[in-house]
Amino acid sequence: MSTPLQVETHSWNGLRKLEAALPASWYFDAAQYELELQKIWYRNWIYVGRADQLAEPSEYVTYRIGTQTALLVRDESGELRAFHNTCRHRGSALCLENAGRLPTRAITCRYHGWSYDLKGALLRTPAFGRAEPAGLRELGLYGIQLHNWNGFLFINLSPTDQRPFETSFIGGADILRHWPLADLKIGHSHSRTLHSNWKIFWENYNECLHCAGVHPALSRLVPIYRRGILEERDDPNWAAHRSSTDPSLRGGLRTGAVTWSMNGKACGPEFPKLSADERRVGYHYLTHLPSMYVAGHVDYVRVVRLQPLGPESTEVFTQWLFPAQTLAAPDFDLKNTVDFGAGVMAEDAEICELAQRGQHALAHRAGVLMPEEYDVFNFQQWVRAELAR
Amino acid sequence: MSTPLQVETHSWNGLRKLEAALPASWYFDAAQYELELQKIWYRNWIYVGRADQLAEPSEYVTYRIGTQTALLVRDESGELRAFHNTCRHRGSALCLENAGRLPTRAITCRYHGWSYDLKGALLRTPAFGRAEPAGLRELGLYGIQLHNWNGFLFINLSPTDQRPFETSFIGGADILRHWPLADLKIGHSHSRTLHSNWKIFWENYNECLHCAGVHPALSRLVPIYRRGILEERDDPNWAAHRSSTDPSLRGGLRTGAVTWSMNGKACGPEFPKLSADERRVGYHYLTHLPSMYVAGHVDYVRVVRLQPLGPESTEVFTQWLFPAQTLAAPDFDLKNTVDFGAGVMAEDAEICELAQRGQHALAHRAGVLMPEEYDVFNFQQWVRAELAR
Amino acid sequence: MSTPLQVETHSWNGLRKLEAALPASWYFDAAQYELELQKIWYRNWIYVGRADQLAEPSEYVTYRIGTQTALLVRDESGELRAFHNTCRHRGSALCLENAGRLPTRAITCRYHGWSYDLKGALLRTPAFGRAEPAGLRELGLYGIQLHNWNGFLFINLSPTDQRPFETSFIGGADILRHWPLADLKIGHSHSRTLHSNWKIFWENYNECLHCAGVHPALSRLVPIYRRGILEERDDPNWAAHRSSTDPSLRGGLRTGAVTWSMNGKACGPEFPKLSADERRVGYHYLTHLPSMYVAGHVDYVRVVRLQPLGPESTEVFTQWLFPAQTLAAPDFDLKNTVDFGAGVMAEDAEICELAQRGQHALAHRAGVLMPEEYDVFNFQQWVRAELAR
């Protein structure tokens, strides 16, 4: 679901006509999946994890993107580095754990003992009594571009992709500028294998026509969702309700609720710099295709990361981030916060799997997009453009 | 096994020379399998189930053919309809269960609530306060051709296939014209995954050279099978035995047996309209390629349906159909009837899996067909013709 | 690991420059795997097993090579024969067990009863009262070339490969000429699925740069291995140590050990014809690409056989062969012998699986070979040549 726009215009958000969706085969064809890995996942900035998962020099984490494994390590100077998790010698995997701390300030291959410093330069190749072959010193680790954005770590597997990092946020990078993103801490993590193509996840994210039927609790908390729309300007008659305070017309949370949680109450102090309107609405989405979004609430944020596993399978990782102060509070009720979002995501997962199962029909060349699905259309146009570039 | 011919001629059924069988790779090659789905399974009439599995309006069943799922529903007027189980909006699966009853007289997609009447026309797409996009009303369900033949439901996934339904029976549709097929009820069902290509199932069905070795009990019940042949004219010297009553020469059941059952006895009243010769022979096969056959006995029929799962895997569904009167009788002995056919089919399954396992040999380009395998040859010619058309 | 050369020359074994290893994709690409089956595994001599596994006429064994299954049988005259395990009639598998004894002096297909004599000629096709079709008699089993070399059975699936068997040993067939190979008996067998490409197994076999880190016990038993080399001439300064008796310079076992076993002691009498130098060194490798090697020790030999299962999966079979006298001795300690080699192989398996896991990195086009990896280079040149011929 996209973030409610704050700027007033006279235009209605909806699509003006039925638009053709992507070809149905793109949701299950193995060659198309491979193409999307190459053209989308292997040459865009991909979110992998939070910087505080590597607090000290020599700490590392490994992440998978499609068939690729990246190794992230904090170097001696405290800087973060990313490499392919592959030794330059004969191609062995370097680190096998998801996370850990290197025993020394070196990355050492277990196979033949080649070691690299934490910037990736070759340090040592064990040998006895012979000269070093010419060219050996150039064999540093295969580097990967890395960007730390407010504590969110992104990598780009393409060595030639030159698009500035910030341009890859959909709708701009400043949607959550009033949130202290860099300072937040992981309070809870969860992952689930979704038996659907990764694009179905995003299409579901980008519309609320399904909300009334699929998300009853969410539609009570966010009354405008019950009307199948994401925000007031998805209603062609929005201008008639400009002075209303009814959240089913204007968006935002039901009266009495301040955040997405089981009881609508915050789990700790609210972020201090939020505007009155940001508090009223109560949820704001920052979207970074193809791999992640952040849902910002007044008291915490939820981060969702995708990892494609195959044409009809995607891993979905979720992190809940909180202020350190909230996590430390003796009466902190994690469950009240986490269960709400986890429940909504479980409902989405089930319905995405349903959507996947119907794509194979011979007669079904492509779906259609309804007026309210303008952001699904935008997502699909983004996919088409990425495949064409 | 094919049905004994009733017409007398002077010709011997056997092939006059060794014939080359299909290329061995056709039994395991993935591209060939995909071709056969497209050219054979997706454009022929395929048996899916019995009409009385959908007794009332709003009852539905779903069936798989290769990667396709068909939804069959009985409409308000009592007519049966078949559709792709896919919503026209964004391609979701509509019904997830194998069978059930729709809560209303509509097929409603769980994802965004699109609903269709039971004839497939679009009824409703939830929306709030906006005009309906042009062209929306045309988006009815994707229809599938359906034919109810004596209570057997067949569908054809090809919208352009125009071959009349009746022509697709091998050897004619009237072989079981004396059986009250439309009135029979399902008394027992069974399914099993066969680890062989679907064509190996049919080749095994079409000859009895294997009977003496593979089916000892069946060869006692049907003495001519012990000689490796299906019927009297498979013997080049058949004319010499024209006046014999020996079932090992003339076909038919052993003396004292009237049907295929463990003890040779019928499970209830015999079908009244059968001819004396139909009673003497005791088994008659109606064959409909590529998906089903019906074995007619004097007291019940057995229906076998194939569903290809992959190049080397096929699901085999079996239904035993009886008169309602038989099923209602207090002394009805289902086991005596079912165990016999189930035992024969288990023997066939094991030997089909053996046949599958040898196909990969590099030196083996194709098998050969013996004189008695004239119906295997006919089946293979049918496959070749289907692939060529 | 290759066998130490016995011939003195002034040359150092090492590669003179960094050499490019095979393309990384060759270790996981499905099409490349299929090509290697066709060009390497299906047209070279492949070790399958020991002749004494078929002691008497009518005894048989079956072996898999890729997708192929070979049937080996001892015929009436005591000669060994190999056939594709496929009936000429309709392609059924003939023998389903790994080993057994035919009930008669014939190979009989369970499907339709075709039987073949033990030389593969067609004996009988059951039929009743009809003439035999022309050409039937030519349908003998598909023969496979077989060679019994000192009790080791090799087959060649290519009917046209004419290369003499003996030329396919790497470094010559006479390395173990002082061992009574033909007379040895299997004392123990073991198999394990290795999650790596078959070539990674051989590359690991052909160098000892990994020994110090991966094989601590082996590096204590064979001190030169701790230096990352296989033999004295892998050291550029070898000439300076020509008069040394230090095994860490000259190769061979640590002082006090005579064989590869947990305690370094032999499991029975030493082979009588070994030379003093063969005893000093204590291990000699006979290598036959792509399928096997024999490690000869003073008291037993270990045979390793590979069977590729897929691009990233290989079955490794190991046999320990002993003199009959050793096996019969009351104090024979099998475990002391077997556990040592099994431990080394388990270490190799783990490190080969590590090597496999890093090959997929997009940036990694190929590894490099170090001077000590000259035999890895030789193996890779062999692979390149096989693919090119």
Write a three-state SS string for chain B: CCCCCCCCCCCCCCCCCCEEEEEHHHHCCHHHHHHHHHHHHCCCEEEEEEHHHCCCCCEEEEEEECCEEEEEEECCCCCEEEEECECCCCCCECCCCCEEECCCCEEECCCCCCEEECCCCEEECCCCCCCCCCCHHHCCCCEEEEEEECCEEEEECCCCCCCCHHHHEECCCCCCCCCCHHHCEEEEEEEEEECCCHHHHHHHHCCCCCHHHHCHHHHHHCHHHHCCCCCHHHCCCHHHHCCCCCHHHHCCCCCCCCCCCCCCCCCCCCCCCCCHHHHHHCCEEEEECCCEEEEECCCCEEEEEEEEEECCEEEEEEEEEECHHHHHCCCCCHHHHHHHHHHHHHHHHHHHHHHHHCCCCCCCCEEEECHHHHHHHHHHHHHHHHHHC
Inter-chain CB proximity A85 and C362 less than 8 Å: no
Query: Which one of C360, C369, C375 makes the best mutation probe of the A interface by having the most chain A beta carbons within 10 Å?
Result: C360
Contact call for residues B320 and B184 (beta carbons, < 8 A): no
Report d(CA C155, CA C283) in Å as an integer. 27
Inter-chain CB proximity B142 and A361 less than 8 Å: yes
Smallest Cβ–Cβ distance between A91 and the set C228, C351, C359 belongs to C359
Report d(CA A306, CA A345) in Å as an integer. 13
Nearest Cα of chain C lies from the Cα of B289 at a distance, in angstroms, of 21
Report d(CA C52, CA C75) in Å as an integer. 14
Find the length of chain B: 389
Inter-chain CB proximity B84 and A354 less than 8 Å: no
Q: What is the mean pLDDT of chain A?
A: 94
Report d(CA C115, CA C328) in Å as an integer. 40
Q: What is the pLDDT of residues B117-160, one digit of tens each?
A: 999 999 999 988 899 999 999 999 999 999 999 999 999 999 98
Report d(CA A57, CA A101) in Å as an integer. 8
Inter-chain CB proximity A127 and C371 less than 8 Å: yes
Contact call for residues B114 and B89 (beta carbons, < 8 A): yes
| pLDDT above 50: residue A305 | yes
Report chain A residues whose CB lies below 8 A from the CB of C237: 129
- Give the mean model confidence (pLDDT) for residues B277-286: 95
Inter-chain CB proximity A129 and C17 less than 8 Å: no
Scan for tokens 């053709």, then name that residue: A20
What is the pLDDT, as a whole number, of residue C163?
Answer: 84
Range scoring the smallest mean pLDDT among A179-188, B1-10, B13-22, C275-284: B1-10
Inter-chain CB proximity B358 and C91 less than 8 Å: yes
Could you tell me if B362 lies within 8 Å of chain C, comparing CB atoms?
yes
A292: CB partners within 8 A, 6+ apart: A47, A152, A303, A304, A305, A306
| pLDDT above 80: residue B3 | no
What is the pLDDT, as a whole number, of residue C10?
Answer: 60
| pLDDT above 60: residue A9 | no
Query: Which one of A38, A39, A90, A111 makes the best mutation probe of the C interface by having the most chain C beta carbons within 10 Å?
Result: A90
- The two structure tokens encoding residue C383: 């692979």
What is the pLDDT, as a whole number, of residue A128?
Answer: 81
What is the pLDDT, as a whole number, of residue A4?
Answer: 44
Nearest Cα of chain C lies from the Cα of A13 at a distance, in angstroms, of 41
- Give the mean model confidence (pLDDT) for residues B189-209: 97
Scan for tokens 């069977």, then name that residue: C307
Q: Looking at chain C from residue 105 to 124, which residues have their Cβ under 8 Å from any Cβ of chain A?
A: none
- The two structure tokens encoding residue B231: 């019927």
Could you tell me if B241 lies within 8 Å of chain C, comparing CB atoms?
no
What is the pLDDT, as a whole number, of residue C170?
Answer: 87
Q: Looking at chain B from residue 125 to 184, which residues have their Cβ under 8 Å from any Cβ of chain C?
A: none
The count of other CB atoms within 10 Å of the CB of residue C284 is 21
Report chain B residues whose CB lies below 8 A from the CB of C69: 357-358, 360-361
- Give the mean model confidence (pLDDT) for residues A225-241: 92
- The two structure tokens encoding residue C324: 């009959």
Query: Which one of A25, A203, A206, A209 makes the best mutation probe of the B interface by having the most chain B beta carbons within 10 Å?
Result: A209
Domains of chain C: 19-43+170-388 (3.90.380.10), 46-156 (2.102.10.10)
- Closest residue in A to C353 (Cα–Cα): A92
| pLDDT above 50: residue C207 | yes
Q: What is the pLDDT of residues C18-66, one digit of tens each?
A: 999 999 999 999 999 999 999 999 999 999 999 999 999 999 999 999 9
Q: What is the spatial order of strands in the sheet that B80-84 belongs to? A: B45-50, B152-156, B143-149, B80-84, B68-74, B59-65, B99-101
- Give the mean model confidence (pLDDT) for residues A308-323: 98
Inter-chain CB proximity C354 and A111 less than 8 Å: yes
Smallest Cβ–Cβ distance between C68 and the set B235, B354, B360 belongs to B360
Report chain A residues whose CB lies below 8 A from the CB of B126: 209, 212, 228
Inter-chain CB proximity C361 and A86 less than 8 Å: yes
Q: pLDDT band for position A10 (50/70/90)?
A: low
Q: What is the pLDDT of residues A319-354, one digit of tens each?
A: 999 999 999 999 999 999 999 999 999 999 999 999
pLDDT above 90 covers a percentage of chain B that reads 89
Dihedral of the alpha carbons of A60, A64, A67, A72, in degrees to the nearest 10: -30
What is the pLDDT, as a whole number, of residue C167?
Answer: 80
In chain C the beta strands, taken as DSSP E runs, fall at: 19-23, 45-50, 59-65, 68-74, 80-84, 99-101, 106-108, 115-117, 122-124, 143-149, 152-156, 169-170, 185-194, 284-288, 292-296, 301-310, 313-322, 366-369
| pLDDT above 80: residue C339 | yes
Smallest Cβ–Cβ distance between C210 and the set A85, A112, A129 belongs to A112
| pLDDT above 60: residue B4 | no
Nearest Cα of chain C lies from the Cα of A114 at a distance, in angstroms, of 10
| pLDDT above 70: residue C1 | no
What is the pLDDT, as a whole number, of residue B5?
Answer: 42
- Closest residue in C to B18 (Cα–Cα): C133
pLDDT above 70 covers a percentage of chain C that reads 97
Q: What is the pLDDT of residues C155-167, one digit of tens each?
A: 999 998 878 888 8
Nearest Cα of chain B lies from the Cα of C18 at a distance, in angstroms, of 40
Q: Which chains touch A (3 or more CB pairs under 8 A)?
A: B, C
What is the pLDDT, as a whole number, of residue C9?
Answer: 46
- The two structure tokens encoding residue C349: 């398996």
- The two structure tokens encoding residue B177: 């014209």
What is the pLDDT, as a whole number, of residue A182?
Answer: 97
What is the pLDDT, as a whole number, of residue B127?
Answer: 86
pLDDT above 90 covers a percentage of chain A that reads 89
Our CA angle for B213, B216, B221, nearest 5°, is 130
Q: Looking at chain B from residue 280 to 309, which residues have their Cβ under 8 Å from any Cβ of chain C?
A: none
Report d(CA B284, CA A355) in Å as an integer. 45
The count of other CB atoms within 10 Å of the CB of residue C237 is 12
Report d(CA A285, CA A4) in Å as an integer. 8
Nearest Cα of chain B lies from the Cα of A368 at a distance, in angstroms, of 5
Could you tell me if C90 lies within 8 Å of chain A, comparing CB atoms?
no
Inter-chain CB proximity C210 and A42 less than 8 Å: no
Inter-chain CB proximity A93 and C362 less than 8 Å: no
What is the pLDDT, as a whole number, of residue C172?
Answer: 87
What is the pLDDT, as a whole number, of residue C373?
Answer: 97
Could you tell me if B82 lies within 8 Å of chain A, comparing CB atoms?
no
Report chain C residues whose CB lies below 8 A from the CB of B203: 90
| pLDDT above 80: residue C7 | no
B284 CB burial (10 A radius; 0-12, 13-18, 19+): buried
Smallest Cβ–Cβ distance between A93 and the set C236, C354, C367 belongs to C354
What is the pLDDT, as a whole number, of residue B164?
Answer: 85
Strand duo C45-50 + B301-310: pairing: unpaired
Inter-chain CB proximity C129 and B235 less than 8 Å: yes
Dihedral of the alpha carbons of B189, B194, B199, B202, in degrees to the nearest 10: -40
Q: Is the pLDDT higher at A6 or at A72?
A: A72
What is the pLDDT, as a whole number, of residue C2?
Answer: 46
Smallest Cβ–Cβ distance between C68 and the set B15, B203, B362 belongs to B362
Inter-chain CB proximity A18 and B133 less than 8 Å: yes
Inter-chain CB proximity C112 and B18 less than 8 Å: no
- Closest residue in C to A139 (Cα–Cα): C368
Q: What is the pLDDT of residues A20-31, one digit of tens each?
A: 999 999 999 999
Could you tell me if A23 lies within 8 Å of chain B, comparing CB atoms?
no
Inter-chain CB proximity A354 and B68 less than 8 Å: no
Smallest Cβ–Cβ distance between B213 and the set C69, C88, C113 belongs to C113
- The two structure tokens encoding residue A366: 């492509």
Find the length of chain C: 389
Which ipTM was obtained for this model? 0.93
- Give the mean model confidence (pLDDT) for residues B373-380: 97
What is the pLDDT, as a whole number, of residue C165?
Answer: 86
| pLDDT above 50: residue B2 | no
Inter-chain CB proximity A236 and B112 less than 8 Å: no
| pLDDT above 80: residue C3 | no
| pLDDT above 50: residue B263 | yes
Report d(CA B98, CA C104) in Å as an integer. 50
Could you tell me if C378 lies within 8 Å of chain B, comparing CB atoms?
no
Q: What is the pLDDT of residues C285-304, one digit of tens each?
A: 999 999 999 999 999 999 99
Inter-chain CB proximity B214 and C111 less than 8 Å: yes
Could you tell me if C82 lies within 8 Å of chain B, comparing CB atoms?
no
Report d(CA C42, CA C126) in Å as an integer. 34
Inter-chain CB proximity B370 and C67 less than 8 Å: no
Smallest Cβ–Cβ distance between B18 and the set C87, C94, C135 belongs to C135
What is the pLDDT, as a whole number, of residue C160?
Answer: 87
- Give the mean model confidence (pLDDT) for residues B14-19: 96
